[in-house]
Structure 1
Amino acid sequence: MDRSLVRHAHPHCHMLLKVEGADTQFSVGDRIVALTDEQAVLINAWEPHSYAHYVGQPATIILALYIEPDWLGAFRANWQASSGPGFFRSNVGTVSPGIRQKARRLAEAMVGDPGDLAEHERLLGQLMVAVIERFTEWQAALPSLRMAAGFGIDHRVRKAISIMRTDPAGVDDMTRLARDIGLSRAHFFRLFETTMHVSPRVYLNVVRLEQAVNFIVDSDASLATISERLGFSVPAHFSRFFHDHAGSSPSTYRAVSSLRGCDFETLG
Protein backbone atom coordinates (compact mmCIF):
# COMPACT_ATOMS: atom_id res chain seq x y z
CA MET A 1 0.00 0.00 0.00
CA ASP A 2 1.37 3.38 -1.02
CA ARG A 3 -1.79 5.49 -1.05
CA SER A 4 -4.94 5.95 1.02
CA LEU A 5 -8.23 4.12 0.54
CA VAL A 6 -11.57 5.79 1.12
CA ARG A 7 -14.01 4.58 3.77
CA HIS A 8 -15.79 1.54 2.39
CA ALA A 9 -17.19 -1.87 3.35
CA HIS A 10 -17.47 -5.43 2.02
CA PRO A 11 -20.18 -8.10 2.29
CA HIS A 12 -17.61 -10.63 3.52
CA CYS A 13 -15.14 -10.76 6.38
CA HIS A 14 -11.80 -9.17 5.69
CA MET A 15 -8.42 -9.63 7.31
CA LEU A 16 -5.13 -7.81 6.86
CA LEU A 17 -1.73 -9.28 7.61
CA LYS A 18 1.47 -7.30 7.24
CA VAL A 19 4.04 -9.10 5.08
CA GLU A 20 6.81 -6.54 4.77
CA GLY A 21 7.60 -2.82 5.10
CA ALA A 22 6.51 -0.10 7.48
CA ASP A 23 3.99 -0.53 10.27
CA THR A 24 0.73 1.21 9.45
CA GLN A 25 -2.85 1.58 10.65
CA PHE A 26 -6.48 1.39 9.57
CA SER A 27 -9.68 3.05 10.70
CA VAL A 28 -12.28 0.37 11.50
CA GLY A 29 -15.68 1.58 12.62
CA ASP A 30 -14.84 4.36 15.06
CA ARG A 31 -11.41 2.96 16.05
CA ILE A 32 -7.86 3.36 14.77
CA VAL A 33 -6.11 -0.01 14.79
CA ALA A 34 -2.44 -0.72 14.08
CA LEU A 35 -1.17 -3.22 11.52
CA THR A 36 2.25 -4.53 12.52
CA ASP A 37 4.35 -7.68 12.38
CA GLU A 38 2.74 -8.76 15.64
CA GLN A 39 -0.83 -7.58 15.07
CA ALA A 40 -3.41 -8.36 12.37
CA VAL A 41 -6.42 -6.18 11.52
CA LEU A 42 -9.73 -8.08 11.45
CA ILE A 43 -12.86 -6.60 9.87
CA ASN A 44 -16.33 -8.12 10.01
CA ALA A 45 -18.78 -8.19 7.12
CA TRP A 46 -20.18 -4.72 6.31
CA GLU A 47 -17.93 -3.05 8.86
CA PRO A 48 -16.84 0.34 7.43
CA HIS A 49 -13.09 0.87 7.27
CA SER A 50 -10.46 2.99 5.55
CA TYR A 51 -6.70 3.33 5.20
CA ALA A 52 -4.79 6.60 5.53
CA HIS A 53 -1.29 6.38 4.10
CA TYR A 54 1.27 8.74 5.57
CA VAL A 55 2.95 10.76 2.83
CA GLY A 56 6.63 9.89 2.70
CA GLN A 57 6.24 6.64 4.62
CA PRO A 58 7.70 3.58 2.91
CA ALA A 59 5.16 1.32 1.27
CA THR A 60 3.73 -1.62 3.19
CA ILE A 61 3.13 -5.02 1.59
CA ILE A 62 -0.16 -6.30 2.97
CA LEU A 63 -1.80 -9.68 2.48
CA ALA A 64 -5.44 -8.56 2.25
CA LEU A 65 -7.92 -11.43 2.34
CA TYR A 66 -11.59 -11.02 1.39
CA ILE A 67 -13.16 -14.36 2.21
CA GLU A 68 -16.33 -15.76 0.67
CA PRO A 69 -18.56 -17.55 3.24
CA ASP A 70 -19.28 -20.47 0.90
CA TRP A 71 -15.55 -21.09 0.45
CA LEU A 72 -15.07 -21.10 4.22
CA GLY A 73 -18.06 -23.41 4.61
CA ALA A 74 -16.16 -26.09 2.70
CA PHE A 75 -13.79 -26.31 5.71
CA ARG A 76 -16.47 -26.26 8.42
CA ALA A 77 -20.17 -25.67 7.80
CA ASN A 78 -20.62 -23.11 10.58
CA TRP A 79 -17.83 -20.94 9.15
CA GLN A 80 -20.44 -19.56 6.76
CA ALA A 81 -21.27 -17.38 9.76
CA SER A 82 -18.41 -15.18 8.54
CA SER A 83 -21.00 -13.28 6.50
CA GLY A 84 -22.68 -12.01 9.67
CA PRO A 85 -21.68 -9.32 12.16
CA GLY A 86 -19.44 -10.21 15.07
CA PHE A 87 -17.63 -13.16 13.48
CA PHE A 88 -14.33 -11.70 14.66
CA ARG A 89 -14.54 -10.96 18.38
CA SER A 90 -12.11 -8.05 18.03
CA ASN A 91 -10.73 -5.86 15.26
CA VAL A 92 -7.17 -6.84 16.18
CA GLY A 93 -5.43 -10.12 16.85
CA THR A 94 -1.94 -11.07 17.98
CA VAL A 95 -0.15 -12.86 15.15
CA SER A 96 1.45 -16.11 16.20
CA PRO A 97 4.78 -17.24 14.68
CA GLY A 98 2.88 -19.95 12.81
CA ILE A 99 0.43 -17.50 11.23
CA ARG A 100 3.26 -15.13 10.32
CA GLN A 101 5.13 -17.96 8.62
CA LYS A 102 2.03 -19.12 6.71
CA ALA A 103 1.24 -15.57 5.54
CA ARG A 104 4.81 -15.06 4.35
CA ARG A 105 4.81 -18.40 2.54
CA LEU A 106 1.55 -17.57 0.73
CA ALA A 107 2.76 -14.09 -0.26
CA GLU A 108 6.04 -15.49 -1.58
CA ALA A 109 4.19 -18.14 -3.61
CA MET A 110 1.82 -15.54 -5.12
CA VAL A 111 4.71 -13.28 -6.13
CA GLY A 112 7.15 -16.01 -7.13
CA ASP A 113 4.78 -18.17 -9.20
CA PRO A 114 1.58 -16.24 -10.04
CA GLY A 115 0.16 -19.09 -12.11
CA ASP A 116 0.30 -21.87 -9.51
CA LEU A 117 -3.27 -21.42 -8.32
CA ALA A 118 -3.56 -24.88 -6.76
CA GLU A 119 -0.59 -24.20 -4.50
CA HIS A 120 -1.92 -20.75 -3.62
CA GLU A 121 -5.26 -22.19 -2.57
CA ARG A 122 -3.61 -24.93 -0.54
CA LEU A 123 -1.52 -22.37 1.34
CA LEU A 124 -4.49 -20.04 1.69
CA GLY A 125 -6.54 -22.85 3.22
CA GLN A 126 -3.85 -23.56 5.80
CA LEU A 127 -3.62 -19.86 6.67
CA MET A 128 -7.39 -19.42 6.97
CA VAL A 129 -7.79 -22.40 9.30
CA ALA A 130 -5.04 -21.02 11.55
CA VAL A 131 -6.46 -17.47 11.51
CA ILE A 132 -10.07 -18.41 12.19
CA GLU A 133 -9.25 -20.88 14.93
CA ARG A 134 -7.14 -18.21 16.63
CA PHE A 135 -9.28 -15.10 16.19
CA THR A 136 -12.92 -16.27 16.27
CA GLU A 137 -15.31 -18.18 18.49
CA TRP A 138 -15.81 -20.51 15.54
CA GLN A 139 -17.16 -23.44 17.52
CA ALA A 140 -20.11 -21.33 18.68
CA ALA A 141 -20.58 -19.36 15.45
CA LEU A 142 -23.86 -19.90 13.64
CA PRO A 143 -25.02 -18.37 10.36
CA SER A 144 -27.71 -15.71 10.69
CA LEU A 145 -30.92 -17.35 9.49
CA ARG A 146 -32.68 -13.99 9.67
CA MET A 147 -30.24 -12.39 7.24
CA ALA A 148 -29.99 -15.45 5.00
CA ALA A 149 -33.75 -15.64 4.54
CA GLY A 150 -34.27 -11.91 4.41
CA PHE A 151 -36.39 -11.89 7.57
CA GLY A 152 -36.62 -8.47 9.16
CA ILE A 153 -35.46 -6.64 6.02
CA ASP A 154 -38.06 -4.07 5.08
CA HIS A 155 -39.51 -4.69 1.62
CA ARG A 156 -38.57 -1.15 0.59
CA VAL A 157 -34.93 -1.75 1.50
CA ARG A 158 -35.01 -4.99 -0.50
CA LYS A 159 -36.43 -3.05 -3.45
CA ALA A 160 -33.69 -0.42 -3.19
CA ILE A 161 -31.02 -3.13 -3.09
CA SER A 162 -32.55 -4.81 -6.14
CA ILE A 163 -32.50 -1.51 -8.06
CA MET A 164 -28.85 -0.88 -7.14
CA ARG A 165 -27.76 -4.36 -8.19
CA THR A 166 -29.81 -4.44 -11.40
CA ASP A 167 -28.87 -1.00 -12.69
CA PRO A 168 -26.17 0.78 -10.65
CA ALA A 169 -25.69 3.27 -13.48
CA GLY A 170 -29.29 4.37 -13.10
CA VAL A 171 -28.92 5.27 -9.42
CA ASP A 172 -27.57 8.80 -9.71
CA ASP A 173 -29.72 10.48 -7.07
CA MET A 174 -30.46 8.97 -3.63
CA THR A 175 -33.40 11.34 -3.14
CA ARG A 176 -35.03 9.99 -6.29
CA LEU A 177 -34.27 6.39 -5.27
CA ALA A 178 -35.93 7.05 -1.91
CA ARG A 179 -38.97 8.51 -3.68
CA ASP A 180 -39.13 5.53 -6.06
CA ILE A 181 -39.46 3.13 -3.13
CA GLY A 182 -41.97 5.31 -1.31
CA LEU A 183 -39.85 6.95 1.39
CA SER A 184 -38.46 10.34 2.22
CA ARG A 185 -34.68 10.65 1.89
CA ALA A 186 -34.18 10.90 5.66
CA HIS A 187 -36.42 7.89 6.41
CA PHE A 188 -34.76 5.86 3.66
CA PHE A 189 -31.26 6.52 5.01
CA ARG A 190 -32.27 5.66 8.61
CA LEU A 191 -34.04 2.47 7.57
CA PHE A 192 -31.26 1.35 5.22
CA GLU A 193 -28.46 1.95 7.74
CA THR A 194 -30.40 0.23 10.54
CA THR A 195 -30.90 -2.83 8.32
CA MET A 196 -27.63 -3.07 6.39
CA HIS A 197 -25.27 -1.27 8.84
CA VAL A 198 -23.92 0.91 6.01
CA SER A 199 -25.35 3.91 4.17
CA PRO A 200 -27.07 3.50 0.78
CA ARG A 201 -24.13 5.30 -0.88
CA VAL A 202 -21.57 2.92 0.62
CA TYR A 203 -23.70 -0.05 -0.46
CA LEU A 204 -23.96 1.31 -4.00
CA ASN A 205 -20.18 1.71 -4.11
CA VAL A 206 -19.80 -1.94 -3.02
CA VAL A 207 -22.06 -3.01 -5.89
CA ARG A 208 -20.14 -0.86 -8.37
CA LEU A 209 -16.78 -2.21 -7.21
CA GLU A 210 -17.96 -5.85 -7.33
CA GLN A 211 -19.34 -5.40 -10.85
CA ALA A 212 -16.24 -3.48 -11.93
CA VAL A 213 -13.99 -6.35 -10.80
CA ASN A 214 -16.18 -8.86 -12.68
CA PHE A 215 -16.12 -6.76 -15.87
CA ILE A 216 -12.36 -6.16 -15.66
CA VAL A 217 -11.46 -9.80 -14.98
CA ASP A 218 -14.10 -11.70 -16.97
CA SER A 219 -14.67 -9.53 -20.04
CA ASP A 220 -12.77 -7.77 -22.78
CA ALA A 221 -14.85 -4.61 -22.42
CA SER A 222 -12.85 -1.39 -22.57
CA LEU A 223 -12.48 0.65 -19.41
CA ALA A 224 -14.55 3.36 -21.07
CA THR A 225 -17.38 0.88 -21.63
CA ILE A 226 -17.18 -0.41 -18.06
CA SER A 227 -17.20 3.16 -16.80
CA GLU A 228 -20.39 3.89 -18.71
CA ARG A 229 -22.10 0.66 -17.58
CA LEU A 230 -21.48 1.59 -13.94
CA GLY A 231 -22.72 5.16 -14.24
CA PHE A 232 -19.53 7.23 -14.31
CA SER A 233 -19.70 10.30 -16.51
CA VAL A 234 -16.09 9.98 -17.72
CA PRO A 235 -13.54 7.12 -17.53
CA ALA A 236 -11.20 9.21 -15.36
CA HIS A 237 -13.85 9.32 -12.61
CA PHE A 238 -14.17 5.53 -12.77
CA SER A 239 -10.40 5.07 -12.58
CA ARG A 240 -10.18 7.33 -9.53
CA PHE A 241 -13.11 5.52 -7.85
CA PHE A 242 -11.51 2.11 -8.49
CA HIS A 243 -8.09 3.23 -7.25
CA ASP A 244 -9.56 4.81 -4.11
CA HIS A 245 -11.46 1.60 -3.23
CA ALA A 246 -9.19 -1.19 -4.48
CA GLY A 247 -5.73 0.34 -4.21
CA SER A 248 -4.72 -0.03 -7.85
CA SER A 249 -5.83 1.36 -11.20
CA PRO A 250 -8.31 -0.68 -13.30
CA SER A 251 -5.67 -1.24 -15.99
CA THR A 252 -3.14 -2.55 -13.46
CA TYR A 253 -5.77 -4.77 -11.89
CA ARG A 254 -6.66 -6.23 -15.30
CA ALA A 255 -3.01 -6.84 -16.17
CA VAL A 256 -2.31 -8.61 -12.86
CA SER A 257 -5.49 -10.70 -12.94
CA SER A 258 -4.70 -11.73 -16.51
CA LEU A 259 -1.22 -12.79 -15.43
CA ARG A 260 -2.58 -14.79 -12.51
CA GLY A 261 -5.52 -16.24 -14.40
CA CYS A 262 -7.83 -15.68 -11.42
CA ASP A 263 -9.56 -12.96 -9.43
CA PHE A 264 -7.59 -12.77 -6.20
CA GLU A 265 -7.77 -9.28 -4.69
CA THR A 266 -4.50 -7.51 -5.43
CA LEU A 267 -3.75 -4.26 -3.66
CA GLY A 268 -0.76 -2.30 -4.85
Structure 2
Amino acid sequence: MSTAIAVFHGAFGRAALYRLNRPLAPHAHREGHLIFLVRGAAGSVAVDGVRHVVHPGQSIAISPWQPHDFQPGDFGEGALFLTLYIKPRWFEELSRAMNQAMRFGAPTLKLDAEMRGRVERIAEILASGHQSTALAEVTGLTRAAFDRTWMPRFGGIAAGLGPAPSVRDFRIRNALALMNERVADVCALDRIARDAGMSRPHFYKLFRQNLGVTPNMYLNTLRLERSIDRLVWSSDAVTSIGLDLGFASQASFTRFFSNNVGIAPTDFRRCSMVSAAA
Protein backbone atom coordinates (compact mmCIF):
# COMPACT_ATOMS: atom_id res chain seq x y z
CA MET A 1 0.00 0.00 0.00
CA SER A 2 1.37 3.43 -0.93
CA THR A 3 1.95 5.76 2.03
CA ALA A 4 2.32 9.48 2.65
CA ILE A 5 5.34 10.74 4.59
CA ALA A 6 4.19 14.38 4.65
CA VAL A 7 1.88 16.76 2.78
CA PHE A 8 2.66 20.49 3.09
CA HIS A 9 -0.04 23.03 2.13
CA GLY A 10 0.94 26.64 1.34
CA ALA A 11 0.00 29.64 -0.77
CA PHE A 12 1.64 27.98 -3.81
CA GLY A 13 -0.45 24.79 -3.51
CA ARG A 14 0.91 21.66 -1.86
CA ALA A 15 4.07 19.60 -1.71
CA ALA A 16 3.75 15.90 -0.95
CA LEU A 17 6.32 13.27 -0.05
CA TYR A 18 4.87 9.89 -1.03
CA ARG A 19 6.18 6.34 -1.06
CA LEU A 20 4.38 4.88 -4.06
CA ASN A 21 4.10 1.22 -5.01
CA ARG A 22 0.76 1.18 -6.83
CA PRO A 23 -0.44 2.63 -10.15
CA LEU A 24 -2.58 5.76 -10.32
CA ALA A 25 -5.54 5.85 -12.67
CA PRO A 26 -5.61 8.41 -15.52
CA HIS A 27 -6.66 11.75 -14.05
CA ALA A 28 -6.07 15.49 -14.31
CA HIS A 29 -5.53 18.45 -11.98
CA ARG A 30 -6.53 22.07 -12.11
CA GLU A 31 -3.02 22.72 -10.78
CA GLY A 32 0.34 22.48 -12.50
CA HIS A 33 2.11 19.33 -11.35
CA LEU A 34 5.80 18.39 -10.90
CA ILE A 35 7.02 14.89 -10.00
CA PHE A 36 10.54 14.17 -8.71
CA LEU A 37 12.05 10.83 -7.71
CA VAL A 38 13.86 11.23 -4.40
CA ARG A 39 15.14 7.68 -4.09
CA GLY A 40 14.26 4.16 -5.19
CA ALA A 41 13.27 2.59 -8.50
CA ALA A 42 12.33 4.83 -11.43
CA GLY A 43 8.63 5.11 -12.25
CA SER A 44 6.85 6.36 -15.35
CA VAL A 45 4.09 8.84 -16.13
CA ALA A 46 2.00 8.98 -19.30
CA VAL A 47 1.23 12.63 -20.15
CA ASP A 48 -1.40 13.00 -22.87
CA GLY A 49 -0.81 9.36 -23.75
CA VAL A 50 2.99 9.58 -24.10
CA ARG A 51 4.94 7.72 -21.40
CA HIS A 52 7.99 9.32 -19.76
CA VAL A 53 10.35 7.93 -17.13
CA VAL A 54 10.90 9.81 -13.86
CA HIS A 55 14.37 9.07 -12.51
CA PRO A 56 16.99 10.98 -10.44
CA GLY A 57 18.11 12.98 -13.48
CA GLN A 58 14.69 13.68 -14.98
CA SER A 59 11.47 15.11 -13.56
CA ILE A 60 7.97 15.15 -15.05
CA ALA A 61 6.07 18.42 -15.62
CA ILE A 62 2.31 18.28 -16.16
CA SER A 63 0.36 21.37 -17.16
CA PRO A 64 -3.08 22.20 -15.74
CA TRP A 65 -5.73 19.78 -17.03
CA GLN A 66 -3.26 17.52 -18.84
CA PRO A 67 -4.44 13.91 -18.41
CA HIS A 68 -1.79 11.65 -16.87
CA ASP A 69 -1.31 8.43 -14.94
CA PHE A 70 1.50 6.85 -12.92
CA GLN A 71 3.19 3.44 -13.00
CA PRO A 72 5.64 2.53 -10.21
CA GLY A 73 8.91 0.79 -10.93
CA ASP A 74 8.79 -0.97 -7.56
CA PHE A 75 5.61 -2.80 -6.56
CA GLY A 76 7.17 -3.97 -3.29
CA GLU A 77 8.40 -1.41 -0.78
CA GLY A 78 7.88 1.44 -3.24
CA ALA A 79 10.01 4.43 -4.22
CA LEU A 80 10.00 7.89 -2.61
CA PHE A 81 8.58 10.71 -4.75
CA LEU A 82 8.30 14.45 -4.18
CA THR A 83 5.24 15.85 -5.94
CA LEU A 84 4.34 19.54 -6.23
CA TYR A 85 0.82 20.78 -7.03
CA ILE A 86 0.87 24.45 -8.10
CA LYS A 87 -2.34 26.44 -7.61
CA PRO A 88 -3.87 28.04 -10.73
CA ARG A 89 -3.50 31.61 -9.40
CA TRP A 90 0.13 31.11 -8.39
CA PHE A 91 0.82 29.28 -11.64
CA GLU A 92 -0.67 32.16 -13.64
CA GLU A 93 1.36 34.75 -11.71
CA LEU A 94 4.53 32.74 -12.28
CA SER A 95 3.75 32.48 -15.99
CA ARG A 96 3.21 36.21 -16.35
CA ALA A 97 6.31 37.09 -14.34
CA MET A 98 8.42 34.95 -16.69
CA ASN A 99 6.55 36.11 -19.81
CA GLN A 100 5.62 32.52 -20.59
CA ALA A 101 2.42 30.63 -21.28
CA MET A 102 0.34 29.24 -18.42
CA ARG A 103 1.66 25.77 -19.03
CA PHE A 104 4.98 23.94 -18.92
CA GLY A 105 7.09 24.07 -22.06
CA ALA A 106 7.82 20.32 -22.07
CA PRO A 107 6.64 17.25 -20.12
CA THR A 108 10.16 16.46 -18.88
CA LEU A 109 13.07 18.45 -17.49
CA LYS A 110 16.66 17.51 -16.81
CA LEU A 111 17.89 18.02 -13.25
CA ASP A 112 21.34 19.44 -12.57
CA ALA A 113 23.18 19.12 -9.25
CA GLU A 114 21.63 22.31 -7.86
CA MET A 115 18.06 21.20 -8.57
CA ARG A 116 18.76 17.70 -7.24
CA GLY A 117 20.03 19.37 -4.08
CA ARG A 118 16.78 21.31 -3.74
CA VAL A 119 14.75 18.12 -4.17
CA GLU A 120 16.77 16.38 -1.45
CA ARG A 121 16.49 19.36 0.93
CA ILE A 122 12.72 19.65 0.48
CA ALA A 123 12.31 15.91 1.07
CA GLU A 124 14.35 16.19 4.29
CA ILE A 125 12.38 19.24 5.45
CA LEU A 126 9.01 17.57 4.85
CA ALA A 127 10.10 14.33 6.49
CA SER A 128 11.33 16.24 9.56
CA GLY A 129 8.14 18.31 9.89
CA HIS A 130 9.99 21.67 9.82
CA GLN A 131 7.39 23.33 7.62
CA SER A 132 8.56 26.90 8.36
CA THR A 133 11.56 26.40 6.08
CA ALA A 134 9.74 24.57 3.30
CA LEU A 135 8.04 27.44 1.47
CA ALA A 136 11.16 29.20 0.15
CA GLU A 137 12.71 25.93 -1.03
CA VAL A 138 9.51 24.76 -2.77
CA THR A 139 9.04 28.16 -4.44
CA GLY A 140 12.62 28.20 -5.68
CA LEU A 141 12.40 24.67 -7.07
CA THR A 142 9.10 25.40 -8.81
CA ARG A 143 10.38 28.56 -10.47
CA ALA A 144 13.56 26.84 -11.65
CA ALA A 145 11.63 23.82 -12.97
CA PHE A 146 9.05 25.96 -14.76
CA ASP A 147 11.71 28.00 -16.54
CA ARG A 148 13.75 24.92 -17.44
CA THR A 149 10.86 23.23 -19.26
CA TRP A 150 10.95 26.09 -21.77
CA MET A 151 14.70 25.94 -22.37
CA PRO A 152 14.81 23.18 -25.05
CA ARG A 153 12.31 25.07 -27.18
CA PHE A 154 12.83 28.75 -26.47
CA GLY A 155 16.19 29.07 -24.74
CA GLY A 156 14.43 29.84 -21.48
CA ILE A 157 12.26 32.64 -22.89
CA ALA A 158 8.83 32.16 -24.43
CA ALA A 159 8.00 35.72 -25.38
CA GLY A 160 4.57 36.57 -26.70
CA LEU A 161 2.76 33.45 -25.48
CA GLY A 162 -0.39 34.12 -23.53
CA PRO A 163 -2.49 32.02 -21.15
CA ALA A 164 -4.26 28.91 -22.40
CA PRO A 165 -7.47 29.84 -24.28
CA SER A 166 -10.60 30.24 -22.18
CA VAL A 167 -13.78 28.26 -22.73
CA ARG A 168 -15.60 30.04 -25.54
CA ASP A 169 -18.76 28.00 -25.98
CA PHE A 170 -21.52 29.37 -23.72
CA ARG A 171 -23.10 25.91 -23.40
CA ILE A 172 -19.88 24.48 -21.95
CA ARG A 173 -19.51 27.48 -19.62
CA ASN A 174 -23.06 26.80 -18.45
CA ALA A 175 -22.23 23.10 -18.03
CA LEU A 176 -19.16 23.95 -15.92
CA ALA A 177 -21.30 26.04 -13.58
CA LEU A 178 -23.81 23.22 -13.27
CA MET A 179 -21.05 20.69 -12.56
CA ASN A 180 -19.77 22.86 -9.72
CA GLU A 181 -23.27 22.97 -8.26
CA ARG A 182 -23.98 19.24 -8.70
CA VAL A 183 -20.63 17.69 -7.87
CA ALA A 184 -22.28 15.16 -5.54
CA ASP A 185 -24.91 14.03 -8.06
CA VAL A 186 -23.93 10.56 -9.31
CA CYS A 187 -26.10 11.03 -12.41
CA ALA A 188 -25.02 14.63 -12.96
CA LEU A 189 -23.56 14.40 -16.45
CA ASP A 190 -26.68 13.15 -18.24
CA ARG A 191 -28.80 15.86 -16.59
CA ILE A 192 -26.19 18.55 -17.23
CA ALA A 193 -26.04 17.69 -20.92
CA ARG A 194 -29.82 18.00 -21.14
CA ASP A 195 -29.98 21.22 -19.08
CA ALA A 196 -27.21 22.76 -21.18
CA GLY A 197 -29.22 22.03 -24.32
CA MET A 198 -27.12 19.24 -25.82
CA SER A 199 -27.35 15.56 -26.49
CA ARG A 200 -25.02 13.42 -24.42
CA PRO A 201 -22.64 12.54 -27.33
CA HIS A 202 -22.48 16.18 -28.47
CA PHE A 203 -21.86 17.36 -24.91
CA TYR A 204 -18.95 14.94 -24.47
CA LYS A 205 -17.42 15.90 -27.83
CA LEU A 206 -17.76 19.66 -27.28
CA PHE A 207 -16.53 19.44 -23.70
CA ARG A 208 -13.33 17.69 -24.72
CA GLN A 209 -12.76 20.14 -27.56
CA ASN A 210 -13.01 23.06 -25.14
CA LEU A 211 -11.15 21.69 -22.09
CA GLY A 212 -9.03 18.82 -23.37
CA VAL A 213 -10.45 16.36 -20.82
CA THR A 214 -13.67 14.35 -20.62
CA PRO A 215 -16.61 15.51 -18.46
CA ASN A 216 -16.05 12.47 -16.20
CA MET A 217 -12.42 13.43 -15.59
CA TYR A 218 -13.40 17.04 -14.88
CA LEU A 219 -16.11 15.99 -12.44
CA ASN A 220 -13.70 13.61 -10.70
CA THR A 221 -11.24 16.50 -10.36
CA LEU A 222 -13.90 18.63 -8.68
CA ARG A 223 -14.70 15.81 -6.26
CA LEU A 224 -11.02 15.28 -5.50
CA GLU A 225 -10.42 19.00 -4.87
CA ARG A 226 -13.39 19.25 -2.52
CA SER A 227 -12.37 16.13 -0.63
CA ILE A 228 -8.82 17.45 -0.18
CA ASP A 229 -10.11 20.81 1.10
CA ARG A 230 -12.32 19.13 3.68
CA LEU A 231 -9.66 16.64 4.76
CA VAL A 232 -7.22 19.49 5.39
CA TRP A 233 -9.45 22.32 6.61
CA SER A 234 -12.23 20.52 8.48
CA SER A 235 -12.57 17.87 11.15
CA ASP A 236 -15.43 16.13 9.30
CA ALA A 237 -15.33 12.35 9.38
CA VAL A 238 -13.98 10.69 6.24
CA THR A 239 -17.26 8.80 5.86
CA SER A 240 -19.24 12.06 5.91
CA ILE A 241 -16.96 13.65 3.32
CA GLY A 242 -17.41 10.70 0.98
CA LEU A 243 -21.18 10.56 1.39
CA ASP A 244 -21.51 14.32 0.85
CA LEU A 245 -19.61 13.97 -2.43
CA GLY A 246 -21.93 11.25 -3.71
CA PHE A 247 -20.02 8.09 -2.81
CA ALA A 248 -22.10 5.17 -1.57
CA SER A 249 -19.70 4.20 1.23
CA GLN A 250 -16.39 5.07 2.84
CA ALA A 251 -14.85 2.13 0.98
CA SER A 252 -15.85 3.50 -2.44
CA PHE A 253 -14.60 6.99 -1.48
CA THR A 254 -11.30 5.57 -0.21
CA ARG A 255 -10.87 3.57 -3.42
CA PHE A 256 -11.53 6.68 -5.56
CA PHE A 257 -9.15 8.84 -3.51
CA SER A 258 -6.41 6.20 -3.51
CA ASN A 259 -6.69 5.64 -7.27
CA ASN A 260 -6.22 9.37 -7.92
CA VAL A 261 -3.80 10.43 -5.17
CA GLY A 262 -2.03 7.18 -4.40
CA ILE A 263 -2.85 7.03 -0.69
CA ALA A 264 -5.96 6.67 1.46
CA PRO A 265 -7.78 9.84 2.64
CA THR A 266 -7.10 9.05 6.31
CA ASP A 267 -3.37 8.78 5.53
CA PHE A 268 -3.48 12.05 3.58
CA ARG A 269 -5.15 13.89 6.49
CA ARG A 270 -2.74 12.46 9.05
CA CYS A 271 0.33 13.66 7.16
CA SER A 272 -0.94 17.13 6.18
CA MET A 273 0.84 20.24 7.43
CA VAL A 274 -0.43 23.77 6.73
CA SER A 275 1.74 26.84 6.29
CA ALA A 276 0.81 29.84 8.44
CA ALA A 277 0.81 31.89 5.23
CA ALA A 278 -1.61 29.60 3.39
Q: Shared fold by TM > 0.5?
A: yes
Q: 2:136 is matched by which residue type in structure 1?
A: R
Can you give the 5+ residue segments of structure 2 that lack an aligned partner in the other structure? 1-19, 151-155
SS of equivalent residue, structure 2 residue 184: helix
TM-score for the superposition, normalised by structure 1:
0.86
Distance 2:76 2:163 in 1: 41
Q: What stretches of structure 1 move > 4 A for 4+ residues in a row?
A: 72-76, 79-82
Distance 1:220 1:65 in 2: 24
Q: 1:38 is matched by which residue type in structure 2?
A: G
Structure 1 residues 128 and 138: alpha-carbon distance in aligned structure 2, compared to 1, 3 A threshold: farther
Distance 1:37 1:55 in 2: 15
Distance 1:111 1:141 in 2: 40
2:104 matched residue in structure 1: 88
Structure 1 residues 141 and 5: alpha-carbon distance in aligned structure 2, compared to 1, 3 A threshold: farther
Structure 1 residues 79 and 46: alpha-carbon distance in aligned structure 2, compared to 1, 3 A threshold: farther
More strand by share: 2
Structure 1 residues 146 and 37: alpha-carbon distance in aligned structure 2, compared to 1, 3 A threshold: closer
2:238 matched residue in structure 1: 223
What are the within-5 Å matches in structure 2 for residues 33-112 of structure 1?
33-53=52-72, 56-72=75-91, 77-79=96-98, 84=102, 87-112=103-128
Can you give the 5+ residue segments of structure 1 that lack an aligned partner in the other structure? 264-268
Distance 2:39 2:219 in 1: 33
1:266 matched residue in structure 2: none
Deviation at 1:80, TM superposition (A): 8.8
Contact 1:79 1:142 in 2 (8 A): no
Deviation at 1:88, TM superposition (A): 2.1
Distance 1:145 1:49 in 2: 18
Contact 2:21 2:72 in 1 (8 A): yes
1:2 matched residue in structure 2: 21
Kindly, what percent of the aligned residue pairs are identical? 29
Structure 1 residues 262 and 247: alpha-carbon distance in aligned structure 2, compared to 1, 3 A threshold: farther
Contact 2:99 2:159 in 1 (8 A): no
1:261 matched residue in structure 2: 274
Deviation at 1:223, TM superposition (A): 1.3
Deviation at 1:129, TM superposition (A): 2.4
2:223 aligns with one of 193, 208, 212: 208
Deviation at 1:69, TM superposition (A): 3.8
SS of equivalent residue, structure 1 residue 221: coil
1:159 matched residue in structure 2: 174
Q: 1:108 is matched by which residue type in structure 2?
A: E
Structure 1 residues 231 and 32: alpha-carbon distance in aligned structure 2, compared to 1, 3 A threshold: same
2:142 aligns with one of 112, 116, 128: 128
Deviation at 1:79, TM superposition (A): 4.9
2:133 matched residue in structure 1: 119
Q: Which stretch shows the higher mean deviation, 156-165 or 234-243?
A: 156-165
Q: Which stretch shows the higher mean deviation, 48-57 or 176-185?
A: 48-57
Structure 1 residues 47 and 221: alpha-carbon distance in aligned structure 2, compared to 1, 3 A threshold: same
Deviation at 1:214, TM superposition (A): 0.6
Q: 1:6 is matched by which residue type in structure 2?
A: A
2:163 matched residue in structure 1: 144
SS of equivalent residue, structure 1 residue 22: coil
Contact 2:100 2:158 in 1 (8 A): no
Distance 2:121 2:44 in 1: 23
- Cα-Cα RMSD: 2.2
Distance 1:262 1:229 in 2: 27
Structure 1 residues 138 and 221: alpha-carbon distance in aligned structure 2, compared to 1, 3 A threshold: farther
Q: 1:135 is matched by which residue type in structure 2?
A: T
Task: Report the count of equivalent residues.
Answer: 252
Q: Which stretch shows the higher mean deviation, 65-74 or 227-236?
A: 65-74
Structure 1 residues 102 and 75: alpha-carbon distance in aligned structure 2, compared to 1, 3 A threshold: same
